[in-house]
Structure 1
Amino acid sequence: MKKLLNTLYITRQESYLHKERETIVVKNGDQKLGQFPALTIGNILCFGQVTVSPFLMGYCAEQGIGLVFYTEYGKFLARVQGRQSGNVLLRRAQYRWADDAEQSLSVARLMVAAKIANSRAVLLREVRNHGGNEALTAAGTHLNASLRNAKIAESTAQLMGVEGDAAATYFSVFNELLRGSGFVFGGRIKRPPTDPVNAMLSLTYSLITQECNSALQGVGLDPMVGFLHQDRPGRASLALDLLEEFRASWADRFVLTLINRKQIKLQDFVTEASGAVRLTEDARKSLLVAYQERKQDEMMHPYLEEKIPLGLLPHCQAMLLARHIRGDTEFYPPFLVK
């Protein structure tokens, strides 16, 4: 099994990263902030005004170390990518699948069904752990019907409609999952997020999307060509497809834990003149530390029946998807929370 490597999160403004022998050095002015063996690093995520030497960029590309740039507030900007790895025959098979409506739909159905089932599991877990709640129970029933509709969708457009309806139902009761924290969630707002909960969700989704991007590249698939999300210049459609399986079970539960355990509080956010809400620098660091710790938690993979760190989940699903596209398995087993 692949080993989970570390991720460097560079949040100090005006930091400079360069390569020194087989290590990665982080400096701020004349001050050395850290020096890390390159062999232990899987990804480097840079937030805001962070500079990376051309030699380190080239090294990261050659070694398959993900190098991703965000705005200071967590909006994705760019990703440095080296040569494509893996078998060209696998990617050609992927492109043929993407051009075949029925084959694309066969995988997309499973991904959407997994998203809906995992969303339902989050709601029912709350009912089970904290007592009956009519709104959550009713939403769970609706999601069960959406799950059946996803399995029989006859086109990608129809499937997207089912997914959109399920997401609306799920987020309509998301506020019920926030317990005594002072946070209020009125609905999913993406660009830009206009409340603290949406700000945390957007940042976490962005982080996991890059995990999916790296995982797909690692097994030789093209992250830009998906089966559910349509091709669009600059959009990693297959990474977004894979993300659907992890939204509720990983991202949403992670955000809910930070809020309900009061690790992140309302005073940890600021509102810009545009109305966009963002985490303060210290709060963003706290979220990233908690996110990295969460990736280390072990779980039993429901299909592989093997204990893995949560951070390897995108790699496992990308590997299973590649096997299916190659024809090694009859079906793609999406990630389902037990």
Structure 2
Amino acid sequence: MPELLRTLFITTPGTSLHLENDTVRIYHPDKPGRNILPLLRIDHIVVWNGVDISDDLLMRCANDARGVTWLSQNGRLLARVTGAQTGNPVLRLEQARAYDSEHRRLSIARAVVAGKLQNYRQLLLKAARDVDEPRRQRIRDVAAQHGEAIMAAGHATTLTELLGIEGNAARRYFEILPLLTPHAPPTRSRRPPRDAFNCLLSFGYGMLRTAVHGALEQVGLDPYIGYLHGVRSGKPSLALDLMEEFRPLLVDRLVLTMFNRKQITTAHTTTDPADGVQLTDEGRKFFLGQWSEARERTWKHAETGREIPAALLPLVQARFLARHLRGDRPAYTPWVAS
């Protein structure tokens, strides 16, 4: 198992990052002092608009295969630097062949949906233990419906049918979330999110997508050739596929916890003129602190029989997918919480 390294998040405009021997030096004119971090302990640098990176540091990161990602203020991916292409062309050929095979593509897509729905179900069943009886039964009813949806997904004969099953299950899931926290609306709103809860979900999904994208590139898979989400120009479909199984427990659970602990305040979000809700600088820093802590939590991984930190789960699953595509595993097995 690879060592758990850290992602360096830099959100404050006016900050600049520089290479200093084997360290990254972080400078901001309003924050005097010598702030350095050893590069050896950093596997990824994520920066927001208004943050500068020196050419020397970018070249060093590229040479070390250390990813650098630029995000918008809302967490949307703007650009990535990953260094020289290191992917295995034979693996990518198998990835494309699986996409062209209706049977293989549907098989992988079914596994992706089953993993997502099972983790939805796990989240709901655990949450039901902590609420009063009227809410408990309603939550368990939806969890039971998700169990039925998993069975239906396993028998889906077309991607259209599978997407319909997944969409209906997701709708029921979001409709029940207000029973888990009064801050959750009964529908998912995006582009832009219309409330603080959906704002944090979208931001969290953006962080998850960045992590999964990097894991796929590290393994040598093409993030843009997916199975459930297909192939569309400019859309990292495989990253969107693989992150499905992680959404409920790595993002949704974290956001629910923050709201139920009353950690999110009016200082963390703001509403723009178009009634879209965005994180403030304070909100971004708070979320990223919670996200970094959550990435260190270990989860049981049934296939490996080990406890694995959340930060490494995308890499483990990307490797399982690569092994399946090469023919070393008969099927792709999604990660589900046990």
Matched, 1:191 2:191: yes
3-state SS of the aligned residue for 2:80?
strand
Cα separation, 2, equivalents of 1:62 and 1:164 = 42
Q: 1:54 corresponds to which letter in structure 2?
A: D
* Residue correspondence of structure 1 range 246-325 to structure 2 within 5 A: 246-325=246-325
Cα displacement (A) at 1:131: 4.0
Matched, 1:116 2:137: no
Q: 2:181 corresponds to which letter in structure 1?
A: L
Cα separation, 2, equivalents of 1:213 and 1:65 = 13
Q: Aligned in 2, Cα 1:194/1:96: closer, same or farther, shift over 3 Å?
A: same
Q: Paired residues, what number?
A: 335
Contact 2:224 2:236 in 1 (8 A): yes
Matched, 1:174 2:174: no
Cα displacement (A) at 1:33: 6.1
Which moves more between the two structures, 122-131 or 43-52?
Answer: 122-131
Contact 1:120 1:144 in 2 (8 A): yes
What's the counterpart of residue 203 of structure 2? 203
What's the counterpart of residue 60 of structure 2? 59
What's the counterpart of residue 41 of structure 1? 42
Q: Which runs of 5+ in 2 are unaligned?
A: none
Cα separation, 2, equivalents of 1:232 and 1:29 = 43
Cα separation, 1, equivalents of 2:233 and 2:34 = 37
Q: Which runs of 5+ in 1 are unaligned?
A: none
Cα separation, 2, equivalents of 1:75 and 1:58 = 24
Contact 1:47 1:73 in 2 (8 A): no
Cα displacement (A) at 1:262: 1.6
Cα displacement (A) at 1:116: 0.8
Q: Aligned in 2, Cα 1:115/1:303: closer, same or farther, shift over 3 Å?
A: same
Which moves more between the two structures, 17-26 or 165-174?
Answer: 17-26
CA deviations 1:303-329 (Å, max 9, x no partner) are: 111122111110111111111111111
Matched, 1:12 2:15: no
What is the alpha-carbon root mean square deviation over aligned residues?
A: 1.6
Cα separation, 2, equivalents of 1:111 and 1:198 = 23
Cα displacement (A) at 1:72: 2.2
Choose the corresponding residue for 1:163, options 162, 166, 171. Answer: 166
Cα displacement (A) at 1:285: 0.6
TM-score normalized by the length of structure 1: 0.95
Cα separation, 2, equivalents of 1:299 and 1:150 = 25
What's the counterpart of residue 25 of structure 1? 25
